[in-house]
A and B are shown apart, each in its own frame.
Chain A
Amino acid sequence: MVGPTLVKSISRKIDERIFVNRYNIHKESHLHVDQSMCEKCEHKPCTYSCPVDNYVWDEETKRLTVYYEGCVECGACVVVCPYHKITLEYPPLGRGINYRFG
């Protein structure tokens, strides 16, 4: 089992905020997005409702990048997706966010 790791890269603005959190990152993403409707999706609420900015839309490639590593498993993305194309399957073995305070 992989020991707890801290998110180290400060490449995005949100990383400064989630840097303090403790994660035990799983090798596979627990977030699954069927991107068939993303281009048609007018407001793309996943890109601004996520508290850790997991979803980033690239206008050039017309693809959604999902940064699952910093996910706090709140599920807002699942609820806001107007086409119900996002599923969250909780990571196994206690992986993912591991709150120290809660």
Chain B
Amino acid sequence: MTAEKFDVIVVGAGPAGSAAALTMAKEGVDVALIERGETPGAKNVFGGVVYQWPLEELVPNFWEKAPIERRVVDHRLVIMSKESSFTISYRDDYFAQNACGGFTALRTKFDPWLAQKAEEAGALLITGMAVDDVIIENGRVVGVTTGKGRENELYASAIVAADGVLSTVLKKAGIRGPPAPHEVALGVKEIIELPSETIEARFNLKKGVGARLDYLGYVTSGRAGGGFVYTNSNSLSVGVAILLSDLIELKIKPYELLDWFKSHPAVSPLIEGGKVKEYQAHLIPEGGIDSIPPLVSKGVLAVGDAAMLCLYPEGTNMAMASGMLAGRALARAKKLNDFSDSSLFEYQRLMESSYVVREHKRKKRYNEVLRESQRFFNEYPEMITQIMRELLVVDGLEKSVKHQRARETIRDKVGYLRLLKDFYSEVWSVLPW
């Protein structure tokens, strides 16, 4: 059997890979989409929210047929301290239109759906096939191997590395190795089953719409991390994420952090009586712009988690956008019949002027803030809840005295200048907005 040759091989049928394959197949590119799981999504984990962009560009009117669990109409940010919490909620039924406020999803439903779109457009989807090496000729990656022997070699004019945060393609091609502990967070999550009526009653929802609760502050023992509770149709996605460098120092087991989170008074009543249906874990790129490897090198285009593109809480949309742009650059290369790196560099150019790289530039201190600022994960939440507790207990002490005490607490614990600077710049690196 002779080795197969395609225009492009996409390694990994997650959101990035399927977006790339779909974009190319629509333009008549001969593309193979290889997935190591039995089905797309079988190996994948995410928090749970997919956004409108760029899905609407990939699949027009996606809201009519995508496997949406619930359209998010209530966005809650919960600032959590050890014992209490302070919640900001923005609820807007406008978000239900066209799922423009995002929607919750399960990867084992969403990923096969998007991969199927690529297949329908003409991509060849191969599942249950793990890439174990790349074929290099004259310093360029010309194919991949999926086992020993020539029958397990696949060739292409270009390769899309959409194989996740631990990308085998990028490692074997010598583009980047595994990330450093401070560049990734470990997310652990449970799918907790509850009747849909119970979810709707607990979260104050109507049928089909949902709430996302993002917990910031003292979620992972005062270290950089966060937690979430997202509503699916008849289950909740409940999880925490912590920087691996912090986890190493804390010497605590990841599931102990999850259990602590689940027992917090701001979480436990929401999940009470639910049945755990799955326990999951995944690494999340958190390195910010400095962790992004060369997007085009040796005939390989890096997309999604493989390209370390993720800014809390946006990962899936960054993945799909990068895949889409890589797909466009490759479709252009096919038309020009020029797959050289200088032609493929179009992907880099498209990325530079896109939301994806611009957002990474805007949050250029993202990783530093996560690593250095204990204030957001410990001091501020503690301070806010302490002040609120004092203000809300009516005990005969005048409010003016309480306000003065609050000012003193702020001055002594952080200082006004620090507070101003944090509010002006740093906090926008960790907020989901």
Contact = CB atoms under 8 A, between A and B. Distances in A.
B273 to A, nearest CB: 16
Interface string B30-43: 00000011110111
B9 interface: no
B294 interface: no
A99 B280 contact: yes
Contact of B278 (A20, A49, A88, A89): A20
Interface of B: 36-39, 41-46, 106-109, 111, 127-130, 132, 146-147, 165-166, 168, 178-181, 184, 186, 188, 191, 235, 244, 247-248, 251-255, 276-283
The prevalent SS among residues of A at the interface is loop
A83 interface: no
Interface in A23-75: 24, 43, 45, 48-53, 72-75
Q: Interface extent on A, as a size class?
A: 35 or more
A21 to B, nearest CB: 6
A79 B41 contact: no
Contacts of A20: 276-279
A80 B251 CA distance: 12
Contacts of A90: 36, 130, 132, 168
Contact of B43 (A45, A93, A99): A99
Contact of A94 (B111, B128, B178): B128
A51 B39 CA distance: 23
Contact of A99 (B127, B146, B178, B278): B278
A79 B178 contact: yes
A84 B184 CA distance: 16
Given A49-B247, A51-B186, A79-B244, A101 B130 contact: no
Given A17-B255, A80-B244, A89-B132, 13 more contacts: A20-B276, A43-B248, A50-B254, A51-B186, A51-B281, A52-B281, A74-B186, A74-B283, A76-B254, A89-B168, A90-B168, A100-B108, A102-B111
9 contacts: A20-B276, A24-B38, A43-B248, A48-B252, A74-B281, A94-B37, A94-B127, A101-B107, A102-B42
A33 to B, nearest CB: 15
B44 A48 contact: no
A74 B46 CA distance: 12
Contacts of A72: 279-282
Given A17-B255, A94-B37, A102-B41, A75 B165 contact: yes
B248 A80 contact: yes
**Which of the listed residues A74, A75, A97, A100 has the most CB atoms from chain B within 10 Å of its own CB?**
A74
Contacts of B147: 92
A98 interface: yes
Contacts of A98: 37-38, 42-43
B181 A94 contact: no
Contacts of B235: 101
B130 A99 contact: no
A91 B130 contact: yes
Given A76-B186, A99-B278, A49 B111 contact: no
Contacts of B44: 99, 102
B38 A51 contact: no
A51 B188 contact: yes
B111 A75 contact: no
Nearest to B254: A51
Contacts of A91: 130
B177 to A, nearest CB: 8
A53 B38 contact: no
A45 B108 CA distance: 31
Contact of A79 (B36, B108, B180): B180
**Which of the listed residues B42, B46, B191 has the most CB atoms from chain A within 10 Å of its own CB?**
B42
A99 B253 contact: no
Contact of B283 (A76, A92, A93): A76
Contacts of A49: 186, 244, 247-248, 253-254
Nearest to B35: A94
A20 B192 CA distance: 11
6 smallest CB-CB distances across A and B, nearest first, come from A102-B107, A94-B38, A94-B128, A51-B281, A102-B108, A74-B281
A79 B253 contact: no
A100 to B, nearest CB: 6
